[in-house]
Structure 1
Amino acid sequence: MEQQEHHGKQWLETLLDLMGLPAEVTIEYRKSEVGESDECWLIIDDTQFTPEQIAILIGERGEGIDAIQYLANTLINLSVDDSQQQGFTIELNGYRWKRYEELKAWTEQVAQQVRQTGQEVEMTSLSSAERRQIHTFLQDVEDLETESRGQEPDRRLVVKPR
């Protein structure tokens, strides 16, 4: 798998270069949210970027960095056997970590609201990766369950009593 991770690094550096934003990419392994194994993070060195360039790469509500991550995960795994596929998380300027903390806090607020009211709550404006993350946050919570409803681009996550 190490070869695939280096291929991911090379792919991302090439993409950034083609975008006119050359940057070094480092590989880092971080503990998975679900505890199965370490995740491969491709971290873009943003020290040479202006704040405007960082904002463009991240995009509104993370849409830019999400698109880059989707492309990386799709293209790098395209010719790889299913059992050998590697998931990649693309990080820039601490965005993923900050967003993770925001989602965790929001999920806790929504969980409290559902418990207090006994009514389901819809969480909107989430990417598919963010919906998956919230499903993971709440998967072992005994009194709550989650489901996704609707069709893209209006797909939303619902938290409700079990």
Structure 2
Amino acid sequence: MAPVEPSPLPDDAKPARDLLAEILAKMGLDDVDIVFLQRSEGEYFEVRGPRLASLIGREGKTLEALNLIYNNIINAGVRNNRRYYTIDAEGYRARRADQLKTLALATLERVVREGRAIKLEPMLPSERKIVHLALADSPFVRTESEGVEPERRLVVHPKAAE
């Protein structure tokens, strides 16, 4: 899969990119490129370069934790016009989002076919959000999260016929 072409970096996103570069350098990842991508689901900083497995972590958990801390720093003390960026590494999160959208549609079909609720495997909050959004406009199913982290999971329920 070829790398996605970067979007022009807005002036107001430059301090955020610089902060990410500083954090990555402290993690020993100073030989990377950070590109800005404007996607339908939001603003992304994609990290490109060698040795990114440690940044992604097992099942994307390090990347998820970094993203949470990073956005908390970016928005510290900000009341209005908060900005949220998604940090990705070599398209890992974009590929995972595509997999989750495919899972969402397959689960929708299964729930409709079987007429019963289906529980998905535990997921990170950002992953559950992708599935919730993928099924949000469906007239056939509704979604909800249940359980407690790290075992919190999404359940897809059939909607009652109206």
TM-score, reference length from structure 2: 0.86
The reply on whether 1:114 has 2:114 as its aligned counterpart is no
| Equivalent position of 1:102 in the other structure | 99
Percent sequence identity is 29
Q: CA deviation at 1:152?
A: 1.0
Q: CA deviation at 1:28?
A: 2.2
Aligned residue for 2:52, secondary structure, equals helix
Aligned residue for 1:159, secondary structure, equals strand
Structure 2 distance, partners of 1:150, 1:45, is 35
| Equivalent position of 2:120 in the other structure | 123
| Equivalent position of 2:19 in the other structure | 11
RMSD of aligned alpha carbons: 1.3
Structure 1 distance, partners of 2:146, 2:40, is 29
Higher helix share: 1
CA contact under 8 A between 1:4 and 1:86: conserved in structure 2?
Answer: no
Q: CA deviation at 1:101?
A: 1.2
| Equivalent position of 1:40 in the other structure | 43
Structure 2 distance, partners of 1:95, 1:157, is 21
Match of 1:28 among 37, 40, 44: 37
**1:44-59 residue pairs with structure 2 within 5 A?**
44-46=47-49, 49=50, 53-59=51-57
Structure 2 distance, partners of 1:31, 1:150, is 29
CA contact under 8 A between 1:148 and 1:155: conserved in structure 2?
Answer: yes
Structure 2 distance, partners of 1:24, 1:80, is 28
Q: Which amino acid is the alignment partner of residue 127 of structure 1?
A: L
Structure 2 distance, partners of 1:91, 1:97, is 8
Q: CA deviation at 1:45?
A: 2.3
Structure 2 distance, partners of 1:31, 1:155, is 26
| Equivalent position of 2:83 in the other structure | 86
Structure 1 distance, partners of 2:82, 2:119, is 32
Structure 2 distance, partners of 1:5, 1:72, is 13
